């Protein structure tokens, strides 16, 4: 519910359990009043903090800067005296940078507008507030959008900037959200990492000054995920306050928190201002990406379940989002570049015998690509490797009884390629400099329409040529050498954002032409695992590290924000290709179950004992996947924290079914039986686990007994079924 109390000049946005409140000072300046547990009253203007500095600009013009220095502006700008983190910076034709936003009006309506060219949440059961602010001097109209969804404690925020003046201006900073939090002891929670160890949870105390996360790599990145939470000191899964932000965008971002001299905390999030300047001519509109805010007064667990629900129901659009995905086998770790038609068919035949449903052909099928140093951009089938051509291979795989998927890396170009030799200016580069390579490749300049069209047509031609049901869209390097021979000099600062818009447009175009396609995004593993990509694909390759024990930490951090159904997880061979670790085949299967599930190995070469486990793993996946896709996720124990074991639980919405996954990472001498307290059950009803029967409140208060097992890396899955009353 959204309402405006005109008498008290208060906007109040209510979700199922929270309230987001804004108010007006002097009927001109929009301030942030409150975000937290749901409130029933709207007489809240006193929370604007005018007791700290009661002199508004109309009351005492001589203290305007002092007012700005402490007033909790809802959308802060540069140059007026608010010296905290800002959201908007504008450079006018005279070179001066300043913006002053004055309240002009509002609209409240059912539904939610789309964002031009950008991914965003959606939903017919939504309600939206638009607040209009203007700067008469700079000639700007700023519209703040706030949308809520029925039954969910989430708030989607976005911004548009329109030039309503007569002169061209340059936007040098446009962030999407600002949130002022009152004094208290808080910590910053973020997800950091690197290649093969993405999204490790990290907490640190918020002290005076600024701190945060960011990327300027042109991808949301292995290093920092576009998620930030301000949590009260001592917050656990079930206790504490959480103010969380997640950016629905897949390129450069910044997310900062700043504690000022009054102990107030401001958190901001949006496009990183580095490499960003946007030329805004009269009549033009710039649309900033969306931020999804979640407040929880019941710890991290409630925040997690809220994000999962919002993304499952109001972000992912694919017809696959609620469906069981086919169990696939990918040939990358099986063969790398060394394969041909017969090798792939051998894998397909053996895979079919063991219940696998799809073969995915990874890198190396096009151009003259025998390693990663050539042929990107030359999307032509190498028929010396695929004898008989692609359609022959696909048809044969279908005759065996499997679906077929294929790998692309559309955004890249190899210097050793026919495309680059013909069009060297089609790569991002700075004039007079040799562009830097990563993984032996350059980045295509997708700001050029002819480049995006050429690459799309190349990919679509392949997809039209055979019955291909799945695409893995990869992107293996960060962006550098940010220069375009297409854009004029005063628009070079638009390259990074335009590049991302072009990728979004290409994926949208592909999904419209091939609506039944199952699309999985990938970026050197999980370097672009963000809400923006989930708008286009219902799943993302979580990490190139498929080691089951490393995946416990990677998947825990990912599951903190993103639904389990979006996490690409496979069983791979041992010794693991990334870590060299050897783990039981059964443990590898149990860990991969909390994702899309598949195999990343040469099924024709693994041991017979491992191969015999595959049908049982697939049977388990099919049994539990409907619960994994739709159930509520509870984190019980964290291997990252305790260094010994990992445990998580999924509970059906009606609380009738649950599964608990327990992984003993390290065995200990003289070990005793553990009792793990479960969550989310019906306290007054009984649950059967194997031959035993327990009451719900017993399992949640006293715990589930975990038997002592001998050895490291051992896993167990417990199935709970509620008994009839």
Question: Which tens digits make up the pLDDT trace of 315-359?
Answer: 999 999 999 999 999 999 999 999 999 999 999 999 999 999 999
Per-residue CA distances from 340 to 363, 382, 386, 393, 408 (Å): 12, 10, 5, 10, 17
Average pLDDT over residues 375-389: 97
CATH of the domain at 346: 3.20.20.70
* Same-domain pairing of 514 and 448: yes
156 closest CA partner among 316, 322, 321, 311: 311
Residues 6+ apart with CB under 8 A from 406: 360, 361, 365, 462, 468, 470, 471, 472
Mean pLDDT across the chain:
96
Taking CA 571 as the corner, what is the angle to CA 566 and CA 575, rounded to the nearest 5 degrees? Answer: 135
Task: Give Cα 360 distance to the centre of its chain.
Answer: 24
659/578 same-domain check: no
Q: What is the pLDDT of residue 441?
A: 97
Between CA 551 and CA 555 the distance in angstroms is: 6
DSSP 633-695: EEEEE-HHHHSSEEEEEEE-TTSSEEEEEEEE-S--TT---EEE---S--TTSEEEETTEEEE
Do 685 and 695 touch, CB atoms closer than 8 A? Answer: yes
In a domain, 296, yes or no: yes
Whether the per-residue pLDDT at 16 is higher than 80: the answer is yes
Provide the pLDDT for residue 63. 80
Q: Which tokens hold the place of 73? A: 């502006």
Q: Is the dihedral of CA 495, 496, 500, 503 positive or negative?
A: positive
Judge if 665 and 573 occupy the same domain: no
One domain, residues 19 and 166: yes
Nearest to 271 by CA among 158, 147, 140, 427: 158
Q: What is the 3-state secondary structure (H, E, C) of 539-553?
A: EEECCCCCCHHHHHH
Do 137 and 271 belong together in one domain?
A: yes
pLDDT at 66: 84
Catalytic residue, from 445, 544, 602, 610: name it. 544
CATH number of the domain that 645 lies in? 2.60.40.1180
First-to-last C-alpha distance (Å) of the chain: 37
Q: How far, in Å, CA of 480 to CA of 61, rounded? A: 47
Average pLDDT over residues 47-59: 69
Asked if residue 52 and residue 138 are part of one domain, the reply reads: yes
Count of domains forming the chain:
3
426 within some domain: no
* 398 and 279 together in one domain: no
- pLDDT band at 26, cuts 50/70/90? confident
pLDDT greater than 80 at residue 416: yes
pLDDT in tens, 490-502: 999 999 999 999 9
- Among the candidates 314, 347, 364, a domain finishes at 314
Q: What is the mean pLDDT of residues 622-636?
A: 97
Q: Are residues 477 and 608 in the same domain?
A: yes
Q: Which residues contact 432 (CB under 8 A, 6 or more apart)?
A: none
pLDDT at residue 580, rounded to an integer: 96
Residue 425 is assigned to a structural domain of this protein = no
- The pLDDT of residue 670 is 84
Full domain range(s) for residue 653? 636-722
Residue 174 belongs to domain with CATH number = 2.70.98.60
Domain-embedded: residue 674? yes
* Angle between helical axes of 608-630 and 585-592 (0-180°, round to 10): 20
Q: Using the predicted structure, report yes or no on whether residue 53 has a pLDDT greater than 60.
A: no
Binning pLDDT at 50, 70 and 90, where does residue 64 land?
confident
Can you read off the two tokens belonging to residue 629?
């896709």
Our measurement of the distance from residue 664's CA atom to the centroid of its chain's CA atoms, rounded to an integer in Å, reads 29
**364-378 average pLDDT score:** 96
Catalytic residue among 363, 445, 474, 545: 474
544 is catalytic: yes
Task: Pull the structure tokens for residue 113.
Answer: 């507008």
Both 348 and 277 in one domain: the answer is no
Give how far Cα 90 sits from Cα of 94, 174, 277, 420, Å. 11, 9, 9, 38
Q: What is the pLDDT of residue 584?
A: 97
Q: pTM for this one?
A: 0.97
Q: What confidence score (pLDDT) does residue 50 get?
A: 64
More confident residue, 680 or 42: 680
Q: Where do runs of H (alpha helix) occur along 11-130?
A: 64-70
Residue 431 lies in a domain: no
427 in a domain, yes or no? no
Judged against a pLDDT cut of 90, whether residue 44 lies above it is answered with: no
Half-sphere exposure of residue 211: CA atoms within 13 angstroms, side-chain side: 17
Cβ–Cβ < 8 Å for 472, 540: no
Asked whether residue 90 is assigned to any structural domain, the reply reads yes
User: Do residue 664 and residue 601 come from a single domain?
Assistant: no
| Domain membership flag for residue 405 | yes
For the segment 57-86, the average pLDDT, to the nearest whole number, is 88
Residue 725: band (very low, low, confident or very high) from pLDDT cuts 50, 70, 90: low
Reduced to 3 states (helix: H, G, I; strand: E, B; else coil), residue 230 is strand
Instruction: Say what the pLDDT of residue 51 is.
Output: 57
Q: What is the pLDDT of residue 62?
A: 77
For residue 287, give every residue at least 6 positions away whose Cβ sits within 8 Å of its Cβ, in sequence order, or none. 115, 116, 117, 118, 158, 159, 160
Average pLDDT in the 71-88 region? 93
In the chain, what percentage of residues exceed pLDDT 90?
A: 92
Check residue 724 and report its DSSP letter: P
Per-residue pLDDT of 105-128, as tens digits, reads 999 999 999 999 999 999 989 999
Q: What is the pLDDT of residues 635-655, one digit of tens each?
A: 999 999 999 999 999 999 999
Strand pairing class (539-541; 518-521): parallel
Q: Are 64 and 81 in contact (CB under 8 A)?
A: yes
Whether omega before 575 lies within 30 degrees of 0, making that bond cis, reads yes
- In DSSP terms, 91 is beta-bridged to 97, 170
- Residue that finishes a domain, picked among 314, 340, 373: 314
My answer on whether 277 and 384 are in the same domain is no
- Mean pLDDT, range 265-294, rounded to an integer: 97
Decide if 14 is catalytic.
no
Full 3-state SS string of 303-322? HHHHHHHHHHHHCCCCCCCC
pLDDT for 672 equals 85
CA Rg value for the chain: 27
Model confidence band, residue 102 (pLDDT cutoffs 50, 70, 90)? very high
Tell whether 238 and 212 lie within a shared domain.
Answer: yes
Domain boundary among 314, 336, 365: 314
């Amino acid at each position: 519910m959204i309402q405006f109390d005109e008498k008290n000049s208060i906007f109040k946005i209510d979700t199922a359990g929270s309230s987001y409140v804004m108010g007006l000072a002097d009927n001109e300046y929009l301030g942030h009043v409150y975000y937290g547990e749901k409130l029933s009253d709207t007489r809240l203007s006193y929370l604007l903090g005018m007791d700290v500095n009661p002199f508004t600009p109309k009351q005492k013009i001589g203290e305007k800067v002092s007012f700005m220095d402490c007033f909790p502006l809802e959308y802060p700008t540069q140059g007026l005296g608010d010296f905290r983190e800002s959201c908007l910076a504008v450079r006018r034709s005279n070179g001066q940078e300043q913006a002053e936003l004055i309240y002009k009006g509002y609209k409240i309506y059912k539904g939610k507008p789309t964002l031009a060219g950008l991914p965003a949440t959606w939903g017919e059961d939504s309600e939206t507030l638009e607040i209009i602010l203007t700067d008469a001097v700079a000639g700007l109209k700023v519209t703040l959008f706030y949308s809520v969804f029925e039954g969910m404690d989430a708030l989607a925020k976005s911004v548009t900037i329109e030039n309503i003046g007569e002169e061209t201006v340059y936007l040098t900073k446009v962030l999407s959200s600002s949130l002022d939090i009152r004094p208290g002891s808080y910590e910053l929670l973020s997800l950091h990492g690197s290649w093969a160890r993405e999204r490790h949870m990290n907490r640190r105390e918020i002290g005076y000054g600024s701190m945060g996360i960011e990327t300027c790599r042109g991808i949301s990145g292995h290093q920092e995920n576009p998620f930030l939470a301000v949590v009260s000191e001592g917050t656990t899964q079930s206790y504490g306050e959480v103010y969380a932000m997640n950016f629905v965008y897949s390129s450069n971002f910044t997310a900062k928190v700043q504690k000022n001299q009054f102990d107030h905390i401001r958190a901001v999030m949006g496009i990183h201002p580095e490499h960003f300047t946007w030329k805004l001519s009269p009549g033009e509109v710039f649309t900033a990406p969306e931020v999804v805010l979640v407040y929880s007064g019941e710890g991290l667990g409630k925040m997690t379940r809220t994000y999962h629900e919002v993304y499952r129901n109001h972000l992912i659009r694919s017809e696959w989002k609620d469906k069981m995905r086919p169990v696939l086998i990918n040939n990358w770790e099986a063969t790398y570049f060394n394969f041909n038609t017969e090798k792939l068919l051998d894998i397909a035949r053996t895979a079919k015998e063991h219940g696998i449903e799809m073969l995915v052909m990874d890198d190396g099928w096009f151009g003259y690509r025998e390693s990663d140093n050539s042929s990107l951009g030359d999307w032509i089938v190498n028929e010396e490797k695929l004898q008989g051509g692609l359609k022959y291979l696909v048809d044969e795989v279908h005759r065996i009884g499997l679906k077929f998927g294929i790998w692309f890396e559309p955004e890249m170009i190899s210097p050793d390629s026919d495309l680059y030799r013909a069009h060297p200016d089609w790569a991002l580069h700075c004039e007079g400099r040799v562009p830097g390579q990563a993984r032996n490749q350059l980045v295509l300049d997708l700001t050029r329409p002819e480049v995006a069209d050429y690459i799309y047509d190349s990919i679509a031609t392949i997809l039209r040529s055979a019955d291909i049901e799945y695409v893995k869209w990869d992107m293996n390097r960060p962006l550098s050498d940010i220069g375009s021979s297409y854009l004029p000099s005063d628009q070079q600062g638009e390259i990074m954002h335009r590049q991302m818009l072009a990728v979004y447009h290409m994926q949208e175009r592909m999904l419209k032409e091939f609506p039944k396609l199952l699309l999985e995004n990938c970026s050197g593993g999980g370097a672009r695992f963000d809400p923006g990509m989930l708008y286009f694909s219902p799943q993302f390759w979580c990490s190139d590290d498929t080691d089951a024990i490393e995946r416990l930490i990677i998947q825990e951090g990912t599951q903190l924000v993103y639904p389990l159904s979006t996490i690409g997880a496979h069983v791979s061979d041992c010794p693991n290709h990334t870590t060299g670790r050897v783990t039981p085949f059964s443990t590898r299967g149990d860990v991969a179950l909390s994702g899309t599930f598949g195999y990343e190995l040469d099924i024709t070469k693994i041991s017979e004992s491992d191969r015999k486990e595959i049908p049982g793993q697939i049977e388990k996946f099919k049994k539990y996947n409907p619960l994994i896709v739709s159930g509520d996720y509870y984190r019980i124990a964290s291997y990252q924290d305790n260094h010994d074991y990992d445990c998580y639980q999924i509970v059906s919405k009606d609380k009738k079914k649950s599964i608990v996954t327990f992984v003993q990472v390290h065995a200990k001498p003289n070990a005793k039986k553990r009792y793990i307290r479960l969550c989310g059950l019906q306290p007054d009803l009984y649950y059967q686990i194997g031959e035993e029967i327990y009451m719900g409140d017993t399992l949640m208060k006293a715990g589930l007994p975990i038997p002592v097992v001998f050895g490291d890396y051992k896993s167990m899955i417990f199935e709970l079924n509620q008994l009839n009353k």
